[in-house]
Amino acid sequence: MQLESLKMFCDVVETGSFSRAAQLNHVTQSAVSQQIRALENRYEQKLLSRSARQVTPTPAGERLFRGCKEILARFAEVEQEIREQATEVQGATTVSTIYSVGLHELNAVQKQLLKTHPKVNMRLNYRRNDQVYDDVILGAAEIGIVAYPQPRAGVDILPFRDDKLAVVCAPNHPFASKAKVSVTALSGVPFIAFDREAPTRKALDRLFREKNIDINPVMEMDNVETIKRAVEMGLGVAILPLATAHAEIKANSLVAKPFAEGPVSRPIGLLIRKGKYLDRASAAVLDAFKQAALIPHDD
């Protein structure tokens, strides 16, 4: 029994037609019929039910079809692996990422990838946290990047790095003259917050509850860029990943202060679909993330 026979059988089941399966395999309809008969003789039972309108699998045929699809899919992966080993790594890999990390923290990854695999292209999709999980699970992205990664069915989580958080304010705000800012000093101060569904917002809300701090969110926004603009305008203060505000701090449009209680950070994780085979391009991108994680983070 050859793989070609199994493929023809699967094509008949999927198309419901001997003639269409023959076209797909560039053989005659008679050749397809012969292969099916050989399979039925091998298993000593009918695998297909033939009617005037369509061909459908019998219960035994349905079981064989499921098994054959798995075999053919795995064989295709093995062939791809063998072909790739003989060539330079190249291709494109889609990475779905939350905005704050994708816009501000992937330079080291891009540089590492360009250094080791210049023909591999990392395509970024900017998504909300929950959408990143969906993209990875549904196969729309090979790799996902989220803050505060949470276990979810069908996903493996790899640690990437921890983002240092800081109190961010306008240069003319009273906090700007302080060396450090206590979490308790935020009580009653106009606060620019992430929207309520953002993992960073949920984590900060837990911190405020633990400290019995009454926060006054005057605005709630869904991405770090709009929060920074509001803080620059003097509408309030915010708590942001320090890496996302480097440009504004350098331009003196924002000031960042560490917490008086000590460092506060948010974990960043990489998502991979459980059991997914990563082609060489995707594996190269994942390796670039791992190498970049070893580089000291510029806070």
Residues 6+ apart with CB under 8 A from 132: 96, 97, 98, 141, 144, 145, 146, 271
Looking at residue 107, its pLDDT comes to 87
pLDDT tens for 30-42 read 999 999 999 899 9
Give the residue with greater pLDDT, 234 vs 103.
234
Instruction: Specify the pLDDT at position 1.
Output: 57
**How confident is the model over 139-166, as pLDDT tens digits?**
889 999 999 999 998 899 999 989 999 9
Would you state the torsion angle of the CA atoms of residues 102, 107, 111, 113, taken in this order, to the nearest 10 degrees?
-20
Average pLDDT value over all residues in the chain = 90
CA distance 146 to 163: 12
Q: Give the β-pairing of 120-126 and 143-147.
A: unpaired
**Is 149 within 8 Å of 162 (Cβ atoms)?**
no
38-57 pLDDT tens trace: 989 998 999 999 876 788 99
Q: pLDDT per residue over 207-233, tens digit each?
A: 999 989 988 899 999 889 999 999 999
Task: Identify which has the larger pLDDT, 54 or 136.
Answer: 136
Shortest CA distance to 29 belongs to which of 10, 1, 52, 8?
8
What confidence score (pLDDT) does residue 103 get? 84
Residue % of the chain over a pLDDT of 70: 96
For the cut 80, the answer to whether the pLDDT of residue 170 exceeds it is: yes
pLDDT at 291: 86
Does the pLDDT at position 297 exceed 70? no
pLDDT of the residue at 204:
93
Decide: 29 and 19 in contact? Cβ < 8 Å. Answer: yes
Query: Rounded to whole angstroms, what are the CA distances from 91 to 16, 57, 115?
Result: 35, 38, 15
Q: Identify the structural domains of the chain with CATH numbers, from first to last.
A: 3-84 (1.10.10.10), 91-160+274-294 (3.40.190.10), 162-266 (3.40.190.10)
